[in-house]
Amino acid sequence: MTELAPRTVRHGATLPAAGVALTDLTPSVHPVRTASVPLARKPGPRAPGAQAPTAQQDAALDLPPRRVPLARRLSRVVAVVALCDVLVLALTAFIAVSFRARLDGVLEKDTYLEFALLSGMTPFVFLLWLVCLALGGAYARRNLGGGTEEFRRVAIASLMAVGAVGTVSFLSRSNISRGYVILCFAVGTVLLLSTRYAVRKVLHHLRQTGRLHARVVAVCSPTALDEVKASLERLSWAGYTLVGACVPSHHLGELSSEPSVPILGGSDDIVAACELTGADTVLVAGGGHTSSQALRRIGWQLETLDVDLVVVPGLIDVAGPRIHMRQVGGLPLVHVDKPQVGRAGGLVKRIFDVVVASAMLVVLSPLMALIALAIKLQDGGTVFYRQTRSGRDGGTFRMLKFRSMVVDADRRLAEVAAMNEADGVLFKVKDDPRITRLGHFLRKFSLDELPQLVNVLSGEMSVVGPRPPLPAEVEDYPVDMHRRLLVRPGLTGLWQVSGRSDLSFDEAVRMDLYYVDNWSLIGDVIIMLKTVRAVLLGRGAY
């Protein structure tokens, strides 16, 4: 093999030209592991009688510890999920048979036959259920730990199992109790979804602590690299850790003197970069490939490695249900549905708002009365604070809140203006001296927001929606941010369940725009459930 001079790459690492052994690498300021693995595009077969290097040999070569491939580690997670499902279905069987037996009076002679039939059919029913879960993709690795697809597949598989049991019962003329079937699948589906949620929380914790994460090499332009890094750090629960990047040669001139991650070479050095860093995943993002042929070559390079290939399509902040893939003559087409802004302000959402707000007012009215009494007894001032906010289409309305500050808070605004801790056009002070002792408690648990249920009933606000801005903020809005005003502002929203006051202004705006464009009723329900948890924990509110 002809040895060529190594090519120097950014962030203190060097990579050789194609065909040079990695032992020719010269470490510099930033330590990069070296290996006696050739930079061939496809690893060749091991020589007869040759043995794989041992852990001691790896240490002598300054290699990092060998890692269990991500696919194998995730397979263990899938096995745990499957075991949990088996235990859940066994518990469901016990509950369903016991309840049905008690309901029918199993000690009576005329119910012995039915009870025996139920007991005999139960293993078949739940074996069929497990088969439907497997065939329905409920154990697919790509669906574990993120999004709603995992829960959707569990629900669909459960419906498939109901249909399958009904079909088998009809064809075999078995008189399976309808009450037993309904009870089984109602209880079982709820338990399955609850177990999946619990496993997901454990999986997120493992990923955030680095015990079950994927090491990622990004293939993208320098401009996209910073965005990819920020996104992966923000979504730490997804389990992606950026360990390096490969920048196409036509983008090398765009590199800064101090890139945020090690630059390990160009598009032809992806295999070497994966071997150097022990990467599990190659992520191709903006500028990472200029043609389908280039992407195909990347796939060929990774063909013999246990490395996943992930492509970012450039559809930022577009919800999954709006994206559809279709093949036309071998050409993959990505269809993106129109934004859901019309539905976000439609009749269905309005009915949902009225029903939810009415129910909450009825249930919470005793608590609201106690809060009002406490505020009045505190200093004798007014109970409610009314503030002008911008609503749908830029119209203004008077938003209600329980007063959490001293009576003359507005007149004392100039005193705390220099203490503003928020960016953008927001005004936020964590330790605002104008807030009363009771006000701190109300704000921590968002109890001061409860009077806004009246604004919801009057049609000025929604239960879920973007944060209601001040008119002064709207005056400084850039063009894109005016989309927030296409729907009614909300009592809660993505900003409420994602950090509340701890969010930066840009991040809050991004979440509001995402909500406007990707609205769904089930999304509103999920946000409401997450709001309960965020409020009870009292994090990020001041």
Domains of the chain, first to last? 7-40+213-314 (3.40.50.1980), 70-207 (no CATH), 343-537 (no CATH)
Local structure of 389: helix, strand or coil: strand
So what's the pLDDT on residue 40?
Answer: 37
Residue that is written with structure tokens 């249930």 in the block:
363
Tokens encoding 212:
């079950």
So what's the pLDDT on residue 369?
Answer: 95
So what's the pLDDT on residue 479?
Answer: 83
Question: Which H or E element spans position 398?
Answer: strand 396-402
Using alpha carbons only, give the angle 251, 253, 255 rounded to the nearest 5 degrees. 85
End-to-end CA distance of the chain: 66
pTM of the predicted model, to two decimals? Answer: 0.61
So what's the pLDDT on residue 329?
Answer: 63
Q: What Rg do the C-alpha atoms of the chain give, in angstroms?
A: 29
So what's the pLDDT on residue 101?
Answer: 59
Cα separation of 208 and 517, whole Å?
A: 29
So what's the pLDDT on residue 62?
Answer: 43
So what's the pLDDT on residue 421?
Answer: 56
**Angle of helix 112-135 versus helix 70-104 axis, rounded to 10:** 160
Cα separation of 443 and 532, whole Å?
A: 14
Residue pair 107/318 in contact (Cβ under 8 Å)? The answer is: no
DSSP state of 138: T
So what's the pLDDT on residue 301?
Answer: 77
- From the number of C-beta atoms within 10 Å of its C-beta (0-12, 13-18, 19+), residue 393 rates as exposed
Local structure of 443: helix, strand or coil: helix
Q: Spell out the per-residue pLDDT of the chain, length 542, in tens.
A: 434 444 444 444 444 343 333 333 333 333 333 333 333 333 333 334 434 444 444 444 344 444 566 777 788 888 999 999 999 988 887 777 677 656 555 444 445 445 545 556 677 778 888 999 999 888 888 778 777 788 889 999 988 888 888 787 777 776 666 767 777 888 889 999 999 989 988 888 888 887 788 889 988 888 788 888 888 887 888 888 888 888 887 666 666 667 778 888 887 788 888 888 888 888 888 765 656 777 777 888 787 787 888 887 765 556 556 666 666 666 667 767 666 666 666 888 899 999 999 999 999 999 999 999 999 998 888 999 999 999 998 899 999 999 988 887 777 666 666 665 555 555 566 677 788 889 889 988 889 999 999 999 999 999 999 989 888 888 888 888 888 888 899 999 888 787 666 667 777 788 888 888 888 888 899 899 888 888 887 665 65
So what's the pLDDT on residue 118?
Answer: 55
So what's the pLDDT on residue 388?
Answer: 92
Dihedral of the alpha carbons of 204, 334, 309, 271, in degrees to the nearest 10: -140
